[in-house]
């Protein structure tokens, strides 16, 4: 919905450079959200858990490692990060 509102407002912009920046930011945000949703589904399937728990595991991993959520999602969807690595150390054994 936020992306829809942003896109609706773009034609009203008169500065082409600003319109380009806003378009790029909107697309980046949308892509990040889609990648996160994909990662949540992958984690939920791999760990046989619900999507709410999968989301919390991703957010927790990002917080523990002081990294952006988008990097965790990218690692998961790109195959560089395994879902089991998201489990807190006490639960991983």
Query: For residues 57 and 45, is the Cβ–Cβ distance under 8 A?
Result: no
Q: What is the pLDDT of residue 2?
A: 56
Q: What is the pLDDT of residue 26?
A: 86
Q: What is the pLDDT of residue 18?
A: 80
Q: What is the pLDDT of residue 81?
A: 98
The full set of domain ranges for the chain reads 2-92
Provide the 10 A C-beta neighbour count for residue 81: 19
4-34 pLDDT, tens digit each? 555 556 566 677 888 788 888 888 999 999 9
């Amino acid at each position: 919905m936020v992306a829809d509102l942003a896109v609706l407002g773009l034609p009203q912009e008169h500065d082409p450079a600003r319109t380009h920046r806003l378009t790029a930011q909107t697309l980046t945000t949308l892509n990040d959200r889609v990648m996160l949703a994909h990662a949540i589904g992958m984690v939920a399937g791999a760990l046989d858990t619900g999507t709410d728990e999968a989301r919390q595991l991703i957010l927790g991993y990002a917080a523990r490692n002081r990294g952006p959520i988008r990097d965790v999602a990218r690692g998961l969807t790109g195959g560089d990060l395994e879902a089991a690595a998201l489990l807190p150390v006490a639960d991983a054994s």
